[in-house]
Amino acid sequence: MIRSWFEWVDAMPSSIAIRESVFGYPYLLTSHAVSMALFAGLIIMMDLRLLGWAFKRTPLSQVQRQLFPWQMFTMVTSSITGAILLYGQPLRYYGKVFFWTKMVLMVFAGLNALYFHYTTYKTVAAWDTTDRPPFGAKLAGALSIALWFGVVIFGRITAYNWMTFSR
Amino acid sequence: MLSFFQYLESLKFGAGSEYTVAFINVSHLLCLVVFIGAVLVVDLRLLGSGMKRQPLSEVVRAANPWMLGGFVGMAITGSLQVVATPMKAYFSDQFWLKMELLIVAVILAVVVRLLTASRSEAPAWGKPAGLVSILLWSFIAVQGRLIGLLQ
């Protein structure tokens, strides 16, 4: 079923136009890579604070609140460029194990952030200024770094043709 | 210069293994993420955004070890990448453009940090400096990706 959606997009004139454009792929790919780096970099700066490894003198809630708009902005830019990349070559990505692995890791990274936000972060007032955050905060930070690093790794190796099961 | 790159080629480091090159490349990218995050918090602060409730000097001091660590990691993995594929680098316009811009960006980063080490508020030149820094590093990253793409 998913395959038929990808085939449907693949046949759209706008998808073909992106695919056949000479500069489309390099422009999209480099914009995606840069916005990803800016996004992941800002996420990891916050994760390092969660671990108590960086910005120790700054309350966590302030790091979170002040970086959040930029995290969202860069997330939107990388999502848009990523979505257009996928839209232009749906069948290329459909057949890639690395692409799907990346998607799964992104879902887990999102769930990790949401879970932290609705559990450990509720008690932030009690440990906001300490440089030794509770275990739940450290775990969320470590998981976030691991998952987003995974997203970066699998995103990069999606460009190789290893473990491609169709096309 | 060409003979130096030919010498590197003769070392055959990582030769024949696409996986070695990919491993180095991915490591370079992970260092980049840490580096650019640490650079960006300072640049955003210079622009009067991001962690603006903290003194500038405090943001700079907190970000410095991660910026330096990320840079050292990128320098090591980047050098390995050149040693693994020297001819590709030598004949790539993007590679040389990246190296030239890198020199400018490093000088800017060092000067900005020297001048802000004891300032709590961003100076008037902070906005252009922060913006130029973000654009420079982004453009360097684009050239880096293009080395692998345009061959």
Q: How far apart are CA B58 and CA B118, in angstroms?
A: 9
Nearest CA in chain A to B135: A34
Whether A58 and B51 lie within 8 Å, measured CB to CB? yes
The pLDDT of residue B16 is above 80: no
Residues of B in contact with A33 (CB under 8 A): 141-142, 145
- Tell which of B18, B41, B120 to mutate to test the A interface (max A CBs under 10 Å): B41
Report pLDDT for B10: 87
Nearest CA in chain B to A52: B62
Write the Ramachandran bin of A55: left for phi over 0, alpha for psi from -120 to 50, otherwise beta.
left
Q: What one-character DSSP code corresponds to residue A160?
A: S
Neighbours of B1 (CB within 10 A): 6
Percent of all residues in chain A with a pLDDT value above 90, rounded to a whole number:
87
Residues of A in contact with B51 (CB under 8 A): 55, 58, 62-63, 66-67
Whether B145 and A29 lie within 8 Å, measured CB to CB? yes
Write out the two tokens for A53. 């490894």
Residues A161/A97, Cβ–Cβ less than 8 Å: no
Q: What one-character DSSP code corresponds to residue B150?
A: -
Residues B106-131 have pLDDT tens digits of 999 999 999 998 899 999 999 999 99
Please return the burial class of A114, using the count of CB atoms within 10 Å of its CB with bins 0-12, 13-18 and 19+: exposed
Residues of B in contact with A40 (CB under 8 A): 33, 37
SS (H, E, C) A1-70: CHHHHHHHHHCCHHHHHHHHCCCHHHHHHHHHHHHHHHHHHHHHHHHHHHHCCCCCCCCHHHHHHHHHHH
Report pLDDT for A167: 58
Whether A152 and B35 lie within 8 Å, measured CB to CB? no
Write out the two tokens for B88. 């590709």
Residues of B in contact with A50 (CB under 8 A): none
Write out the two tokens for B44. 């955003």
Start-to-end C-alpha separation, chain B: 20
A96 by DSSP, 3-state: which?
A: strand
Cα-based distances in Å from A160 to B58, B139, B142: 42, 23, 18
Residue B40 forms contact with A (CB below 8 Å)? yes
Residues A31-77 have pLDDT tens digits of 999 999 999 999 999 999 999 999 999 999 999 999 999 999 999 99
Residues of B in contact with A141 (CB under 8 A): none
Of residues A29, A70, A159, nearest to B44 (C-beta): A70
Four-CA torsion B125, B34, A160, A12, nearest 10 degrees: -60
Residues B13/B84, Cβ–Cβ less than 8 Å: yes
Residues of A in contact with B65 (CB under 8 A): 54
Residues B40-68 have pLDDT tens digits of 999 999 999 999 999 999 999 999 999 99
Whether A70 and B63 lie within 8 Å, measured CB to CB? no
Q: What is Dmax (Cα atoms) for chain B?
A: 54
Domain segments of chain B as ranges: 2-149
Q: What one-character DSSP code corresponds to residue A131?
A: S
Mean pLDDT over the full length of chain B: 94
Q: How far apart are CA A41 and CA B71, in angstroms?
A: 13
Q: How confident is the model at residue A154 (pLDDT cuts 50, 70, 90)?
A: very high
Please return the burial class of B97, using the count of CB atoms within 10 Å of its CB with bins 0-12, 13-18 and 19+: middle
Report pLDDT for B14: 77
Beta bridge partners of A164: A96
Q: How confident is the model at residue A140 (pLDDT cuts 50, 70, 90)?
A: very high
Cβ neighbors of B20 (< 8 A, separation 6 or more) are B14, B84
